[in-house]
Amino acid sequence: MTGSARGTVPGLATPYPLGEALPAVYAEDDFGRRFVSGLDVVLAPLFNVLDSLEAYFSPALAPADFVDYLATWVGAELDGSEPLETRRRAVAAAVALHRVRGTRRGLVAAVRLAFGTAPEVVESGGAHWSARPLGPFPGASVAGLHVILRVADPAAVDPYRLRAVVAAARPAHLPFTTTVTTASAPEGASTP
């Protein structure tokens, strides 16, 4: 179903013609029947939408423009330039991603959904406690996060989009950096 299915569609008949519901005095009048038949053309798309309303709330079945509307409802992190299938997957996964937002798992899932590749996430390991009194703190002294996205063609990835996805999915208190780099060849694979 496309966006035009909600507008006037030539030949779309209404399942409930108004002429059949007119009182007898008006139903016998030719002008009255022709007048309400014009309203049938206006109401037919509404009945069409109402008859398939459940499909509008399924990301896999909804019209493309309605998928974008659903994305705003569920808080899917989209910038509008993604292909339709990616937008559909983002809407379908939004609730599950909100459950793990701010965790490593949620960050990896959000980046994988946006770019099709799982990132490498390097945490500083900084902490503000010690195993013994006055002992050294483990990890780096400043908490932080570094996200590395390894792809075949780094020029094809928008680094600002990566930053936006990471900023939305990371723990709110952590500063972060991002890097887009070339994917390394698997071990044992020969490079030309």
Q: What percentage of the chain has pLDDT greater than the value 90?
A: 27
Is the per-residue pLDDT at 93 higher than 60? Answer: yes
With beta carbons less than 8 A apart as the criterion, state whether 18 and 41 touch.
no
Q: Angle at which helices 104-115 and 84-99 pack, to 10 degrees?
A: 180
* 146 beta partners: 122, 177
* Phi, psi values for residue 16, rounded to 5°: -130, 75
Predicted TM-score (pTM) of this structure: 0.64
Give residue 119's Cα distance to chain centre. Answer: 19
- Listed by start position, the domains of the chain span 13-51, 54-99, 105-192
pLDDT band, very low/low/confident/very high, at 41 (cuts 50, 70, 90): confident
pLDDT band, very low/low/confident/very high, at 10 (cuts 50, 70, 90): confident
With beta carbons less than 8 A apart as the criterion, state whether 151 and 157 touch.
yes
- 35 conformational bin, left if phi > 0, alpha if psi -120 to 50, beta if neither: alpha
Is the per-residue pLDDT at 95 higher than 80? Answer: yes
Tell me the one-letter amino acid at 130: S
Mean pLDDT over the full length of the chain? 82
6 vs 72: which has the higher pLDDT: 72
Report pLDDT for 4: 44
**Most distant CA pair in the chain, distance:** 97
pLDDT digits (tens, 9 = 90+) for 48-74: 888 888 888 899 999 888 898 899 898
pLDDT band, very low/low/confident/very high, at 191 (cuts 50, 70, 90): very low
Q: Which run of H or E residues covers position 168? A: helix 159-169
Query: Integer distance in angstroms from the first to the last C-alpha of the chain?
Result: 46
With beta carbons less than 8 A apart as the criterion, state whether 62 and 4 touch.
no
> Coil, helix or strand for 85?
helix
pLDDT digits (tens, 9 = 90+) for 149-161: 999 999 999 999 9
Is the per-residue pLDDT at 3 higher than 80? Answer: no
With beta carbons less than 8 A apart as the criterion, state whether 143 and 173 touch.
yes
With beta carbons less than 8 A apart as the criterion, state whether 115 and 183 touch.
no
Report pLDDT for 180: 93
Cβ neighbours, 10 Å, residue 22: 16
